[in-house]
Structure 1
Amino acid sequence: MKTLFVSYRVTDLDRSLGFYTAVGYAELGRVNADHGSHLVLLHFPGEPAASLELVHRPADGRVDVGSGFDHLAIQVETLDTTLERLTEAGLEPEPVQYPGGPHGPKTSWLTDPDGYRIELVEWPSGHADGITAADFS
């Protein structure tokens, strides 16, 4: 088994698409469903498959983010460069943090238009992609 993608319900599809394309996602495909609903599948360039789905159901009203979802983590190559690009695109990333100390990952947080939190992570040199069992030894 493997995780296919994360799916978010969004209040304003155009606003959310603008935000996520500024982050770096590209639209992979779209499904128009009943009653004006839309599913938009996104991926980062270079990813072969979707990694994020935006679900827009206007009939359901505004999104309430307080449903238990915590955050989405995105690995970046160079955090400083990413933060500069996001700021130039009009987004407001938070200051860099070092949650694992000076030799651990560098992180920054970003909040999407509906209030979903995104953690941007730059791993230290030599670290595997993602969190692995080695991080808990």
Structure 2
Amino acid sequence: MRTLHVGLRVNELERSLAFYTAVGYEVVGTVEGTAYGTLTMLQLPGDHFVTIELVHDPASGPAGPGVGINHLVIQVESLDATRADLAAKGIAAGPVENPGPRTCWITDPDGYRIELVQWPAGHPDGITKGDFA
């Protein structure tokens, strides 16, 4: 088993697409006319699978955090380079935290928090049991 992707309800699809493409996501495809509205599938370069599905249905009322999702996490090669790239695109990142895996936070247009993580050299991609030993 594995987690496939997370679906995020968004208020303004174009605004959210502008944000997520600036972060680095690419649109893989769109499914229109579903019972949940328009679904836009996103993945990061080098990833083989969709990891975010933007769900847009204005008839469903306002979207945003507080209904169960706390945050997303994106692994980056260089936190400093990513922060500089995002700043050039008008996306402010919070301060760098933690001496081990370096992290910082950004917030999407609907208020969803996204943690950016740079693992220390030699750390596997992702959290493992070894991180809790």
- What TM-score bracket applies, with the shorter chain setting the length? over 0.9
In the alignment, the residues of structure 2 paired with residue 82 and residue 135 of structure 1 have an alpha-carbon distance, to the nearest angstrom, of: 24
In the alignment, the residues of structure 1 paired with residue 44 and residue 13 of structure 2 have an alpha-carbon distance, to the nearest angstrom, of: 18
In the alignment, the residues of structure 1 paired with residue 34 and residue 121 of structure 2 have an alpha-carbon distance, to the nearest angstrom, of: 47
In the alignment, the residues of structure 2 paired with residue 127 and residue 34 of structure 1 have an alpha-carbon distance, to the nearest angstrom, of: 40
**2:117 equivalent to 1:107:** no
What's the counterpart of residue 117 of structure 2?
121
What's the counterpart of residue 96 of structure 1?
96
**2:75 equivalent to 1:79:** no
Q: TM-score, normalised by structure 1?
A: 0.93
Change (3 A) 1:57 1:81: same
Structure 1 residue 35: Cα displacement: 7.9
In the alignment, the residues of structure 2 paired with residue 5 and residue 50 of structure 1 have an alpha-carbon distance, to the nearest angstrom, of: 6
Does the 8 A contact of 1:36 with 1:58 survive in 2?
no
Does the 8 A contact of 1:35 with 1:59 survive in 2?
no
AA matched with 1:72? L
Q: Which runs of 5+ in 2 are unaligned?
A: none
The root-mean-square deviation of aligned C-alpha atoms, in Å, is 1.4
In the alignment, the residues of structure 2 paired with residue 23 and residue 118 of structure 1 have an alpha-carbon distance, to the nearest angstrom, of: 10
Number of aligned positions between the proteins: 133
**What fraction of aligned residue pairs are identical, expressed as a percent?**
53
In the alignment, the residues of structure 1 paired with residue 50 and residue 34 of structure 2 have an alpha-carbon distance, to the nearest angstrom, of: 22
In the alignment, the residues of structure 2 paired with residue 46 and residue 54 of structure 1 have an alpha-carbon distance, to the nearest angstrom, of: 20
Q: Which runs of 5+ in 1 are unaligned?
A: none
What's the counterpart of residue 37 of structure 1?
37
Extract structure 1 runs of 4+ deviating beyond 2 A. Answer: 34-37
